[in-house]
Amino acid sequence: MSRSQTHLGDMNLKDFRKYGYRAIDWIANYLANPDKYPVLAQVKPGQIREALPKSPPENPETMDSILKDLDQIIVPGITHWNHPAFFAYFSLTGSVPGILGELLSAAFNVNAMLWKTSPAATELEQVVLDWLRQMLGLPADFQGIIYDTASISSLHAMTAAREALADLKVREEGLAGRSEIPRLRLYTSEQAHSSIEKGAILIGIGQRGVRKIPVDNEFRMDPAALRHAIEEDTRSGWRPFCVAATVGTTSTTSIDPVPEIAEICKEKGLWLHVDAAYGGAAAILPEMRHVLDGCERADSIVVNPHKWLFTPIDASAFYCRRPDTLRRAFSLVPEYLRTSEGETVRNYMDYGIQLGRRFRALKLWMIFRYFGHKGLAARIREHIGLARQFTSWIDDDPDFERLAPAPFSTVCFRARPKDLADLLEKSPKAADEIERYLNSLNEALLEAVNATGLAYLSHTRLRDRFVIRLAIGNIRTTESYVSRAWKLLRDHARRLDKEFRPSALRVHEDG
């Protein structure tokens, strides 16, 4: 083959336009009604893999055939997070301005590691994070950086907290094999996200370096227990160094008492990190700003725009009031990355583990501008309103019960037929059997509702009870989807209870 016959280089731009427009049309059709698909992918494990070739394509293929397979093979295996009845986990949501931001940042394909490797990427990141800081009502001494996820943000917080123990020289000497230094202890609540414990594993303090503080009856960290734990540990030779509080815990969205925790941290000289990955976004509403009360005293805080600020995954906003400590923990500049701008610019690679960085600020800029603070707030307010509505349906139905307060847009509840509640009151000895039955009833209920493809909810476990969670956060969710989910829950609960209730728990047969 002669050189002139070889097709090198990128796709020709005539084809790019053709398929680019087609892809945009595809997206618009998809987003016009994502509810034509089942929310939860109805495929078996391995089904998608088996539909795909085992070996890589030897020869070029046409974009037509690739897009055809997208529809036929990939889409059936998609769980539709865009579906307005996606109520599982935290129902994170993207938005069209965010999709356009992703498209354009892929086109630029800049690496935002240094200021000079794309000044606009660095400076836009500084600006949009400062906008978000203002919307959240946090003070100006919080400096922001975007990481991919809250897990990584919290890992950076914990590493900075460890670096703040300057006398230990952990950066230089490590932790292993040093009998001259005490073991480090971090505190978080029993309800904290698993990423805190994972971070502890990574920074070398181990799972035993995490002490989980009990919660009150509303699942909030008990500050008296925190204080007691810190003092007890100090007496027995541990070195307390960090508290990770949560605003919006993963199971129930409970809010730790940050003002009291901040006071303890100040008194004991501990780093306070606040994990507000989901709940923080609500603080852009004036009437919800109180959820971040006390956070102005934290050393660091994470809020995920990809959770509840209409940003396509991934984007996690990390704020730190001690950026010099963060930088001391992470800055390590090899010769080939030295630049002459010095302290006049921010080189984001100095503030984190990764060198290469995506241009995530672009999508945030487009989203914040397109919706405005008011538009973002109005959508979150609607989600909170829908969750209140759902909460009132649960509370008013004698055959259901709510199992935690719902301060945001996530509701924890279970089916609990009224006659069983009555039975429990009359014969407390039956409690274990009733609880066992309710657990299996609710597990079956969740599965039955999800199998309809008309709604997708997830679960948690609270005090040994199987709990169904309904989380509202999708930009397309309206009341009709929430009420349809409620009807499904009621209908299936009634049916399953009739079918599966053990005879010993049948109270009165009135039919």
Ligand X SMILES: *Cc1c(COP(=O)(O)O)cnc(C)c1O
In angstroms, what is the minimal distance from the CB of 149 to ligand X? 3
The alpha carbon of 129 is separated from its chain's Cα centroid by a whole number of angstroms, namely 18
Closest to ligand X by CB, 347 or 410: 410
In angstroms, what is the minimal distance from the CB of 30 to ligand X? 24
Long-range contacts formed by 367-370: CB under 8 A, 24+ apart:
367/95, 367/97, 367/98, 367/101, 367/305, 367/309, 367/310, 367/311, 368/128, 368/131, 368/132, 369/97, 370/95, 370/97
Three-state DSSP at 300 gives strand
The DSSP-derived string for 433-464 is HHHHHHHHHHHHHHHHHHHTTS-B-EEEEETT
> Under a CB-based contact definition with an 8 Å cutoff, are residues 349 and 407 in contact?
no
Closest to ligand X by CB, 150 or 472: 150
In angstroms, what is the minimal distance from the CB of 468 to ligand X? 18
Closest to ligand X by CB, 248 or 294: 248
Sign of CA dihedral 344, 347, 348, 350: negative
Three-state DSSP at 234 gives helix
In angstroms, what is the minimal distance from the CB of 224 to ligand X? 23
Closest to ligand X by CB, 275 or 350: 275
Three-state DSSP at 323 gives helix
Closest to ligand X by CB, 132 or 493: 132
The angle that helices 96-108 and 361-396 make with each other, rounded to 10 degrees, is 150
Closest to ligand X by CB, 189 or 347: 189
In angstroms, what is the minimal distance from the CB of 73 to ligand X? 27
In angstroms, what is the minimal distance from the CB of 467 to ligand X? 16
Closest to ligand X by CB, 351 or 486: 351
Binding site residues, ligand X, CB under 6 A: 90, 149-151, 193, 195, 246, 248, 250, 275, 277-278, 304, 307, 316
In angstroms, what is the minimal distance from the CB of 277 to ligand X? 3
CA–CA gap between residue 383 and residue 117 (Å, rounded): 40
> Under a CB-based contact definition with an 8 Å cutoff, are residues 445 and 493 in contact?
yes
